Amino acid sequence: MDFSRLFFPLLVFFLLALLYVNGAYEDNVPFEQNYAMLWGQENIKVLDQSREVQLTLDQHSGSGFESWHQYGSGWFNMRVKLPKKDTTAVITTFYLQSDDGPTRDEIDFEFLGGNMEHPYILHTNIFTNGQGGREQGIHLWFDPTADFHDYTLLWNQKQLVFFVDNIPIRVFKNTTQKGGKFPTQAMKILATIWSGTWASHGVPANWNDAPFEANYIGFRVNACQVPSNQQCDSSMFWWNAHKFWDLNSRQKRALNNVRTQFLLYDYCTKSFHNPECQN
Ligand SMILES: *[C@@H]1O[C@H](CO)[C@@H](O)[C@H](O)[C@H]1NC(C)=O
C-alpha cells in the first residue's frame, strides 16, 4: 500500500476535524466581548476564563448583565442553568429590551422559581410600545436546575419564535397588516436574577435557601447591531431568510406537542379577536 497517497486526504480530514471542533465551541466567546455587568456587581462571578457567568440573588441584592450594543433582529441564544432548592419568588431572566421607559419594546424569557409542589414555570411575554399583557406560561419537560439548556429567540420582520433546546415553544407573528402589534425598536440583551412576589401569589422568597445562583454560558451574539450600515431586515442576515419566516411542518408539530402537554396559560385564550392571536 502506498501511504504517501493517503497523506493529502488525511491532512484535509484533520483540518476539517479541527474546524469542526472550533465551530462547536464558537458560541463560547468571552463574556466581555459582548456583555457588561449591569447591577449587583458584588453578586456576579465571571468564571472559566469568561466563558461562564454566575448571577446571584441574596437577601441584599440580585444582579444582572446586559449587552454593550442594541440589535434590530437576530438569533439570540443563551445557555442557562437555573438556581436549585426552594426558589419560590425567585425570577431568573433572559430578555431583550429597548431603552427603558413608558414606550419600550421587550421580549421576555422569565423563569419563575418554585419548589417540590410547584415546579419552575417558563413565563414569556412581549411588550410593544410599553404595552405587555401577552403572557404565556409552560412547564418544562426536564429539570432546568440540573444542567444547561438552550433558550433562544428568533426575531425577524415576520415572526418572533421562542425556542427551548431548539424546540419552538411560542410563535408571535408580525400581524401589523391585520392590526396587531410587533416590536420595532432596537433592543439590548439582558439577563437578571431578582425577587418578585407577583410570580408566587405574594409568597416571599425562602431566604434560608439563599444564595440563589443562576449560571449562563454562550456569549456569542448572532444579531443585527444598531446603528449600522445594514438594514436589520436585510436578507444578508441568515435569520431573515425565507425559511425563517415560518416554522416548518416538523417544528409546527413540535410546537403543538408542547402546547398540548405543557401549556399552563396563554393570553390568547382570552383574546380570540386580537389579530395577534389569529394564526
Ligand atoms: C411587519 O410586517 C410589515 C408588512 O406586513 C412590514 O412592513 C413591517 O416592517 C414589519 N415590522 C417589522 C418590525 O419588521
pLDDT digits (tens, 9 = 90+) for 49-72: 999 999 999 999 999 999 999 999
* Per-residue model confidence (pLDDT) at position 28: 83
* Per-residue model confidence (pLDDT) at position 271: 80
* Per-residue model confidence (pLDDT) at position 267: 95
* Per-residue model confidence (pLDDT) at position 8: 67
Q: Taking the alpha carbons of 24, 29, 35, 39 in that order, is the dihedral positive or negative? A: positive
76 lines ligand 1 (CB under 6 A): no
Give the closest residue (by CA) to ligand 1 atom 14.
Answer: 157
Instruction: Please choose, from the candidates 184, 89, 155, 169, the residue with its C-alpha nearest in 3D space to the C-alpha of residue 124.
Output: 169
* CA angle 62–128–102, rounded 5-degree value: 65
Domains in the chain: boundaries: 3-277
Lookup: cell for 244: 425563517
177 lines ligand 1 (CB under 6 A): yes
Residues of the chain where predicted confidence (pLDDT) is lower than 50: 22-24
* Per-residue model confidence (pLDDT) at position 189: 98
Residues labelled catalytic: 106, 110
Q: Taking the alpha carbons of 51, 123, 126, 269 in that order, is the dihedral positive or negative? A: positive
Give the closest residue (by CA) to ligand 1 atom 10.
Answer: 157
Specify the CATH number of the domain 3-277. 2.60.120.200
In this structure, what DSSP letter does residue 277 have? G
* Per-residue model confidence (pLDDT) at position 232: 97
CA-to-CA distance for 169 and 149, rounded, in angstroms?
14
* Per-residue model confidence (pLDDT) at position 1: 58
Q: Which residues contact 173 (CB under 8 A, 6 or more apart)?
A: 158, 159, 160, 180, 276, 279
Residue 176 CA to ligand 1 centre (angstroms): 7
Q: Is residue 175 a contact partner of residue 75, using CB atoms and an 8 Å limit?
A: no
Q: What is the pTM of this model?
A: 0.91
Q: Is residue 121 a contact partner of residue 266, using CB atoms and an 8 Å limit?
A: no
Residue at grid coordinates 444578508 = 236
* Per-residue model confidence (pLDDT) at position 100: 79
* Per-residue model confidence (pLDDT) at position 97: 98
